[in-house]
Each structure stands twice: as structure tokens, then as C-alpha cells.
Structure 1
Amino acid sequence: MSLSTTLLRGISGAYFLQSGIGKLNMPTEAAAGLQQFAATGVPQVTKLAPDTFGKFVSYSEIGVAASLLAPVVPNRLAGLMLGAINTGFLSIYFRNDQMTQKDGLRPSEAGTGLSKDIFIAAIAGALIAAPTAAKTKKAGKAEKAEKK
């Protein structure tokens, strides 16, 4: 694994791990508030009980963190998992008028916290597009053959 990939996975993995662990024993009232906020982007979450929703979010974030922090998980799979959870976060950002300025893109003061998810989308894209170990090895062999 390259240094750049290690940094992308390590930092975002640590962030998601901390976030998920912080939500593990979330009180029902806090889970309900988070659920209500999440429903602005993904209305279907209202079908869950608040405690179930809180556990779902917590376990999802911990699972994504685990995929990012485990070096045995391929970059593409880790990137796809990060992208999947991030899609929900971005839908909240873009579907909630209070999160963006009038242009619907730039973050408002209230949306600055969620706007970080745009960077997470870029990290997911970089992991998905990163060359696989087999391609890197094959390119290295081809380069050595050209030098001979």
C-alpha cells in the first residue's frame, strides 16, 4: 500500500471510527434528533425506531472505518463502502436548503460541518480509482523490461 493510500485510508478511517464509537450509546432523544435531520436527505429513515436508527448509523460508521483501516480490504472495496455511506451524508447536505447558500452548492454557515463530506467523496473516488497491486506490479515489470 502506498503512502498516499495509507494516509487517505488511515485518516478517514480514524475519523469514522471515532464518529461511530461516539454514537454507540446515543440516548434515544439524540438518536431521534439525528434521525429527523437525516430524514431531510433520506426520508425513508423515519420508518426506523430512533434507537434502531442510532445503532444503524453507529455500526455503519464503525464498519466503514474497519474497511478503511484493515489493509487486507482492497482499496476499491473500501472506497465503495466510504462512497456508499457518504452518499447519504451528501444527500442531507444538498437536499436541505439551510445547508447551502442560494446557489445550492456552496455551504452556508449551518452547512459548513456537512460540507466536509465533499472531501470524503473525493477520498472515496481516489480509493476507487487507485491502481490495484496487480496493475502496479505489472507496470513495474514492464518498466524494468523497457530499461533492458
Structure 2
Amino acid sequence: MNFLSSVALRAIPGAFILNSGIGKIGMPAEASAGIQQFAASGVPAVKQIPSEKFGTVLGWSEAAVGGALLAPFVPNAVAGGALTTFAAGLLSLYFADPDNREDDGIRPSEQGLSLAKDSWLLATGLALAATALDGKRKKNRKK
């Protein structure tokens, strides 16, 4: 993957996710508990985190993913893997609530549209990871 396509895939999602994460760090306990309850609908394991700290933990996690995308020294495979994992967690929220989808179970309803857009983040993460792996395969063939 060339430099410009890598920057295009990493810069905007990275800045957006970093900003979102920073906004959650130190959030009030009530807001933190609300976000945790919503997140637990898709990822039940998050119930293990103390509710008053969940927002801060989530914020630092998002900031780490955003930072990895923005840091040029982080390989595409690592940044893509982080973004793919993050997006999969977001999409688990989409699929956890049947009201987010039309009767066919896939297409987003009006309610689910804001979560369904996270599929683009998943595609971006997969593209970064796949092109990095493809580049390694090509290097190995030349040897």
C-alpha cells in the first residue's frame, strides 16, 4: 500500500476516534454507567468494569485506537487490527438489538442507521490489515 492510500485510510478515522475517546475520559459517573449499559448489550463482558470508571476506560481505549491510526510508525497491520476489533465491537451493538434492522435482519432501520455506519470502519480496518499482509506475502515471494 502506498503512503497516500495509507494516510487516506488512517487519518480521518484516527482523528475521529481519538477525539471521541478524549471526550469520554473523566466523564461523570452517571453518564459512564449509561454508556456501559448500552455497550453491555453488544459486549456483555464490559459489565465487569466498575461503572463509574467505564467511560474513562472506554475513552482511553478509543484514544489508543485513534492514536495508533494516526501514528505513522505503527504498522498498517497493527492499526488495521485495532480498528477492526474496535469496529466489530461497535457492530455488535447494531446486531444486539433487532430494532436496529429491517425485517431481513441486515439492512438498517432508521434507528440502527447511526450504528450501521460503523461497518465502514470495519471495512477500513480489514483493508489496512489485508494490504499489510498482502505486502508481506509479496516480499516473501521475491526471496
TM class, shorter-chain normalised? 0.7 to 0.9
Q: Which has the larger radius of gyration?
A: 1
2:43 matches 1:37 = no
Mapped to 1, the partners of 2:8 and 2:54 lie a distance apart of 30
Mapped to 1, the partners of 2:88 and 2:21 lie a distance apart of 17
Assess, with a 3 A threshold, how the Cα gap between structure 1 residues 40 and 137 changes in structure 2: closer, same or farther. Answer: closer
Q: RMSD of the alignment, in Å?
A: 2.2
Gaps of 5+ in 1: 143-148
Deviations 1:44-63 (A, max 9, x none): 21222212211111011000
Mapped to 1, the partners of 2:11 and 2:131 lie a distance apart of 15
Aligned positions of 1:14-33 closer than 5 A: 14-33=15-34
TM value normalised by structure 2: 0.88
Aligned to 1:145: none
How many angstroms does 1:90 deviate by?
Answer: 0.9
Aligned to 1:10: 11
Q: Which amino acid letter does the alignment assign opposite residue 37 of structure 1?
A: F
Aligned to 1:65: 66
Q: Give the share of equivalent positions with the same residue, in percent.
A: 47
Q: Which amino acid letter does the alignment assign opposite residue 25 of structure 2?
A: L
Aligned to 1:115: 116
Runs of 4+ in 1 over 2 A off after TM superposition: 134-138
Mapped to 2, the partners of 1:129 and 1:13 lie a distance apart of 18
Q: Which amino acid letter does the alignment assign opposite residue 54 of structure 2?
A: F
Count of equivalent residues: 140
Aligned to 1:75: 76
Mapped to 2, the partners of 1:135 and 1:47 lie a distance apart of 38
Out of 44-53 and 84-93, give the one that drifted further: 44-53
Assess, with a 3 A threshold, how the Cα gap between structure 1 residues 131 and 87 changes in structure 2: closer, same or farther. Answer: closer
Out of 41-50 and 12-21, give the one that drifted further: 41-50
Deviations 1:74-132 (A, max 9, x none): 00010001111112111111111122122221111111111111000000011001147
